Chain A
């Protein structure tokens, strides 16, 4: 399996509401990320636009439906369509989530949680091998937000991700908001999580907003909160210069607002690493 060279820069998710901005102006980003499934179609305007944007800048294909944790294996039609899209777009890389979405009979279209067991690790690694062989390239997998853990868990999420990456050669997409959300929801230390991730396997960082509550929910519909910014600064201190982007999928503001938010990521990335305390508590603090 080939390797993925590090790529530094700052990007945004390409969403329909900003198509014209990207087609008609030079948006100051280093890459865009698209939801793969939106373009795994036979033809028409979405593919035409994606190809036009691709002619301007690198594109990352980020999927939500591979269902890498499905015990019944991967969907061959899905893989074939993703392979066609990847060959057509020549993306920086192809990514998906550490989760499952479907059984043989039904598809939830949601990122459902996996138990972190040796059995699940075997299933996930077997599926990743299958996907990477089919696509002819290594993939990135993203840590999910989750709303429950399982009594049968045998390892932490970061131990699972580390073992998965070691066994399959896949890379990691670290969603800092998801670490923040899951740390709150499950009571683990975000600092322990960052320390436990194999830094040399991380090729991308996601930043996003969430909805607060007794259980925090990863909704991608709000500004990145201060606690996540702090955790991002720490992650940069550990991971170094990693491609970073802001994900917004709902309540999408005009592009200039997202670019302003992305500037904050740039500023944090070039500034000194924070020296303040743990960032795994539920209280949001003002970034230094």
Chain B
């Protein structure tokens, strides 16, 4: 039993009881105190589980309510929140899903997509460049500037390698109703591809791109030059396809509004 002498010690002790049903009550506490503590414990769990369900709405629907609740409870025990914002309670939950749903790896992939969309929703505002902007900039480019070109992507842009058609899952789980058994899409184990998430105006969106495009995008997001990206594509796709694809990718990223700035 910890002797609770100072306010700080009492708060550590109280928090330990909130987080753990088995934690012993302090000396001098009565059944009435225990009843009060039960309310705080229940409120803590209910609020956090509700927050996770709100963020991971589709994942909960796909995994099923009982399985999702168990995963949420597991997550709260292993990663009790420490951020000031309830929004962060879902941080790391896709990893928890990966650990728990080892036989259904699409659950963690879907969870990652929901988390990335959640983060993009409140990412910093920025105006995406359009093709005309690149056109004006390109008019000032010397030959070597193309190779040195670097891209800054919109805040909130994120990506991940997936091995299932998560886009199909996302669409199938869009309704408010529970998904009937006959409406559950077959989980297709697809060729590796990348989910890319960003925000269009105020709306988070995503697209699925090929593994090659995903890796190229990852390079550019990590600060590589366009020249280095093209070299990678030549190595993985061959020169002819790389020339066509590098331009197409840049055009696609511009067209979709992923690029915030171009520097040379």
Q: In the assembled complex, how far is the CB of residue B126 from the closest CB belonging to chain A, in whole angstroms? A: 8
B122→A46 contact, CB < 8 A? yes
Chain B, 45-97, CB within 8 A of any chain A CB: 47-48, 51, 80-87, 89
Chain A, 96-151, CB within 8 A of any chain B CB: 100, 102-103, 105-110, 112, 115, 117, 119-120, 123, 146-148, 151
Q: B15 interface residue, CB < 8 Å from A?
A: yes
With A103-B15, A148-B33 as given contacts, are A65 and B85 in contact (CB-CB < 8 Å)? yes
Q: In the assembled complex, how far is the CB of residue A100 from the closest CB belonging to chain B, in whole angstroms? A: 6
**Residues of A contacting B19 in the complex (Cβ-Cβ under 8 angstroms):** 106, 108
Tell me the complex Cα distance, A256–B155, Å.
38
- Quick one: CB contact mask for B105-131 with A, threshold 8 Å, 1 for yes? 000000000000000011111100000
**Residues of B contacting A100 in the complex (Cβ-Cβ under 8 angstroms):** 11
A108→B18 contact, CB < 8 A? yes
- Quick one: CB contact mask for A37-60 with B, threshold 8 Å, 1 for yes? 100111111101000000000000
Q: B146 interface residue, CB < 8 Å from A?
A: no
B7→A148 contact, CB < 8 A? no
B43→A110 contact, CB < 8 A? yes
A43→B124 contact, CB < 8 A? yes
With A77-B84, A109-B89, A112-B14 as given contacts, are A44 and B7 in contact (CB-CB < 8 Å)? no
Q: B40 interface residue, CB < 8 Å from A?
A: yes
Q: In the assembled complex, how far is the CB of residue B33 from the closest CB belonging to chain A, in whole angstroms? A: 5
Q: A84 interface residue, CB < 8 Å from B?
A: no
Q: Which of A67-75, A155-163, A193-201, A273-281 contacts B (4 or more CB under 8 A)?
A: A67-75
A119→B44 contact, CB < 8 A? no
**Residues of B contacting A112 in the complex (Cβ-Cβ under 8 angstroms):** 11, 14-15, 18, 40
B155→A71 contact, CB < 8 A? no
Tell me the complex Cα distance, A37–B85, Å.
7
**Residues of B contacting A102 in the complex (Cβ-Cβ under 8 angstroms):** 15, 82, 84
B84→A37 contact, CB < 8 A? yes
A109→B47 contact, CB < 8 A? yes
Query: Contact check: which of B8, B121, B122 meets A72 at CB < 8 Å?
Result: B8
A35 nearest in chain B by CB position: B86
A148 nearest in chain B by CB position: B36
- Quick one: CB contact mask for A57-95 with B, threshold 8 Å, 1 for yes? 000000001000011100101100000000000000000
Q: B12 interface residue, CB < 8 Å from A?
A: yes
A66 nearest in chain B by CB position: B84
With A45-B202, A110-B40 as given contacts, are A71 and B7 in contact (CB-CB < 8 Å)? yes
Q: A217 interface residue, CB < 8 Å from B?
A: yes
Q: B10 interface residue, CB < 8 Å from A?
A: yes
Q: In the assembled complex, how far is the CB of residue A109 from the closest CB belonging to chain B, in whole angstroms? A: 5
Q: A215 interface residue, CB < 8 Å from B?
A: yes
Chain B, 20-38, CB within 8 A of any chain A CB: 28-29, 32-33, 35-37
Q: In the assembled complex, how far is the CB of residue B41 from the closest CB belonging to chain A, in whole angstroms? A: 9
**Residues of A contacting B7 in the complex (Cβ-Cβ under 8 angstroms):** 71, 115, 117, 119-120, 123
**Residues of B contacting A146 in the complex (Cβ-Cβ under 8 angstroms):** 36
Q: In the assembled complex, how far is the CB of residue B45 from the closest CB belonging to chain A, in whole angstroms? A: 10
- Seen from chain B, the residues whose Cβ lies within 8 Å of a Cβ on chain A are 6-8, 10-12, 14-15, 18-19, 28-29, 32-33, 35-37, 39-40, 43-44, 47-48, 51, 80-87, 89, 121-126, 155, 199, 202-203
- Seen from chain A, the residues whose Cβ lies within 8 Å of a Cβ on chain B are 37, 40-46, 48, 65, 70-72, 75, 77-78, 100, 102-103, 105-110, 112, 115, 117, 119-120, 123, 146-148, 151, 185, 214-215, 217
Pairs A–B under 8 Å by Cβ, sample size 30: A42-B123, A43-B122, A43-B155, A44-B121, A44-B199, A70-B11, A71-B6, A71-B8, A72-B8, A75-B84, A103-B11, A106-B15, A106-B19, A107-B81, A108-B15, A108-B18, A108-B40, A109-B51, A109-B81, A109-B86, A109-B89, A110-B40, A112-B11, A112-B18, A117-B7, A123-B7, A147-B36, A148-B36, A151-B29, A215-B36
Task: Return the 6 tightest CB-CB contacts between A and B, nearest first.
Answer: A148-B36, A71-B8, A43-B125, A41-B122, A45-B202, A147-B36
Q: A45-B121, A71-B7 are in contact. List 15 more A-B contacts (CB 8 A).
A: A42-B125, A42-B155, A44-B121, A48-B202, A65-B86, A77-B84, A100-B11, A106-B15, A106-B82, A109-B51, A148-B35, A148-B36, A151-B29, A185-B36, A215-B36
